[in-house]
Structure 1
Amino acid sequence: MLDKSNRNHSIMCSVDSCKFHCDNADYCALSQIKVGTHEKHPSEKQCTDCQSFVASNR
């Protein structure tokens, strides 16, 4: 079971629809994340994705 009160201060995140988002702070509860892209040659930050994202069951 993931302890969402154990926020990782090295990973800031404002995506509160993610399962790993800390409920009362804009941090991730994972110890590490994987960042990827949906573009062949990304040139802007909008071209990158957090591939650790899992939709929450809210």
Structure 2
Amino acid sequence: MIKKLSFIALTLLFIGLIGSAATFGLMNKKATIIGKERINNENIKSIKSLILGQ
């Protein structure tokens, strides 16, 4: 029973490590802004920034 749980835990750990390694490179990938456009719409009450640090 303990061997089986250890094997499952080790498998999940490896899957997590592979997923972390695959997504870590995407974190620092830069995006290019093509253009800016002002929006004039009276129905929009507020916009909150979802970017960290702002």
TM-score range normalised by the length of the shorter chain: under 0.3
The structure with the greater share of residues assigned to helix is 2
Looking at CA atoms only, which structure, 1 or 2, has the larger radius of gyration? 2
Greater relative CO, 1 or 2 (CA 8 Å, sep 6+): 1
The structure with the greater share of residues assigned to strand is 1
